[in-house]
Homo-oligomer: A and B are copies of this chain.
Amino acid sequence: MKHDYLQNTPLSEAKKSFISILNSLSFYAESEKIPTALADGRILSEAAYAAISAPHYNASAMDGIAVAAEVTYGASEVSPKILTSAQYAVVDTGDPMPQGADAVIMVEDVREEADGAVKILAAVHPWQNVRQVGEDLCMGDMIAPTGTCLTPALLGALLAGGVTEVSVKKQPRIGIIPTGDEIVPPTNTPKPGEIIEFNSVIFSAMLRRWDAQPIVHPIVRDNREDLREAVLQAVRENDAVLILAGSSAGRDDLTADLVRSNGTLHLHGIAVKPGKPAVIGEIGEKPVLGLPGYPVSAMVVMEQFVKPMIDHFYKRTAHAEQDVDAIITKKIVSSLKYKEFIRVSVGEIGEKRYAVPLARGAGVITSVTKAGGILEIAQDLEGLEAGSAVKIRPLNETGGGNTLVITGSHDPLIDEAADLAKRQGLNLRIVSSHVGSMGAIQAIRAGQAHLGGIHLLDEATGEYNESYVKKYFPDGGAVLQKGVGRVQGLMVAKVNPLQIKDVRDLPGRRFVNRQRGAGTRILFDYLLKQNDLTPADIPGYDNEKYTHTAVAATVAAGNADAGMGIFSAAKIYGLDFIPLYNEEYDFLVNEQTMNTPVVQQFFSILHSKAFLERLEALGGYRVEG
């Protein structure tokens, strides 16, 4: 249980020192010659000059007749001239100009006469309707300077200029070494303790997008000697090496030691979250980086260090990201110990852009896939209040008014609707966050969402939703739209070994609950009260999950004996389901957005036949009329 001391170098300092390391290693691209036709997206290693002019001959720019301009002088519609067959030649666009001809009369101004003669209705001046040699490109002209990233049009210009081969910068070969006793190649049947090795796939794809060539080496087990050999070989074969995992402070922490004893260890531990345990060093005059095992941490290190490393290799300047304004919807607490990168989902309501902080766990890769932007919290900030104006770095296009922001209770039907929208080719992007039914009310009141799912039981009347709308929107501002009926119940292990039949059977059993504010939790509390029970009677009442499937997964894993949720979640996990309550899951809509295309599109999907078929397949829903 001994482990390395993790330094805590501030990010900006770490990046600066990394660049000076790269400088000292002369980490720059070499040059190679490749066929121009295959060079799209490649970067010129030297300026390209036209080897021939384009056009390389005088070419007719029209269909018509080629002539010596001087013989046409004076011709016009009112006084046409006659040219003998020796005085002209028929040419089409692109044809070379015959000897002695320096202009073209277009076909519309020419009439055929007897004996091959023609009548011309217009005069032309020298070089009229002729593309002279070099009109586009002259031999010797620089077509593009060093460092140019080639585009389709540039390939055309190079070929037009007779440049059939170009000198481009060689792509850097980046070796990737996955390490660890526990990791296994991707599979859908991993055993407990086995971790699927997907980081090398993520990083390979990132590297390709950054114009580098990933070389994934075989998985190395946690063995000092094996790792040393693998790394030394990778260093010989590549321009730089990434060692995956092994940099968290556990018994797997071999990377830093290895770099120290075979080269130079420059940094171990950077004041950035996630990403802290990164290792930066060199072996054999090549950069060697140790990446954290958690994917989100490692992706931060990839973006903050490996991308700049590749830009340095090419001597190219990274495109400065254009930050955009947003308002954060939740309070964020951060530590003074590090700069933090927080992934946010981004939604636009009217002219305002809202950023919803996503899960911050370094292992939660879905926080990256759901992110629409990155919020940086400076190291000297302790956090931000909800409602703060911030700058975020957008990860995909924002704006365009095609985003529908759904904030509220979780139901898989929202994902299914998003899928149907895409299937139908609608220009509708759905951003949803699961914050429970009460969260929907808050978000709509704050104007931060178009709509949200709610299923809120009024304990006094036993009715759903309506009284809440009256209470929280006494002066209007929200519209309740009928959603679906669905059955809530207890999920228990298959064949119900503990014979749980009702809420009354829960005391003494391990329960898994939903988060505060969730309609399902409110329903559960109501059922407890009806049965004269209190939270204190329910072990695990404080074990909170955010979705129906998360509750089902917890029961299925044996981490709890029972949980409350909808039928479709139980069905996916093959759990037994004890129906307890028919509830109404409706949509609370921000009144001001009711007639926007995104909201209207959403409800038209909800009322479509295809959607009803999907609900049927999920099971446990009722749709009225």
> A-side interface residues toward B, CB under 8 Å?
1, 3, 36-37, 40, 46-47, 51-58, 61, 63, 90, 92-96, 102, 107, 110, 126-127, 131-148, 151-157, 159-160, 162-164, 180, 182, 186-190, 192-193, 195-196, 198-199, 201-206, 208-209, 248-252, 293, 295, 299, 315-317, 319-320, 322, 361, 363-366, 368-369, 397, 399-400, 402, 412, 415-416, 418-419, 421-425, 427, 540, 543, 547, 549-550, 552-554, 556-557, 559, 569, 572-573
A368 proximity list for chain B (CB < 8 A): 153, 156-157
A316 proximity list for chain B (CB < 8 A): 425
Which chain B residue lies CB-closest to A371? Answer: B153
Q: A295 CB to closest chain B CB, in angstroms? A: 6
Q: Is there an interface contact between B249 and A63, defined as CB atoms closer than 8 Å?
A: yes
Which listed residue (B1, B146, B206, B208) contacts A422, Cβ 8 A?
B146
Q: Is there an interface contact between A135 and B196, defined as CB atoms closer than 8 Å?
A: no
CA of A293 to CA of B156, assembled, Å: 13
CA of A572 to CA of B142, assembled, Å: 12
Number of copies: 2
A107 proximity list for chain B (CB < 8 A): 1, 3
Which chain B residue lies CB-closest to A548? Answer: B138
Q: Is there an interface contact between A138 and B190, defined as CB atoms closer than 8 Å?
A: no
A93 proximity list for chain B (CB < 8 A): 248, 250, 293
Q: Is there an interface contact between B557 and A133, defined as CB atoms closer than 8 Å?
A: yes
A209 proximity list for chain B (CB < 8 A): 40, 152
Which listed residue (B180, B203, B540) contacts A126, Cβ 8 A?
B540
Q: Is there an interface contact between B157 and A366, defined as CB atoms closer than 8 Å?
A: yes
List 17 A-B pairs, Cβ < 8 Å: A3-B107, A53-B557, A56-B190, A133-B559, A136-B364, A136-B366, A140-B569, A140-B573, A142-B415, A146-B423, A157-B365, A160-B198, A160-B365, A164-B188, A315-B424, A319-B397, A320-B397
Which chain B residue lies CB-closest to A510? Answer: B126
Q: Is there an interface contact between B557 and A58, defined as CB atoms closer than 8 Å?
A: yes
Which chain B residue lies CB-closest to A422? Answer: B147
CA of A152 to CA of B143, assembled, Å: 34
Q: Is there an interface contact between B369 and A144, defined as CB atoms closer than 8 Å?
A: yes
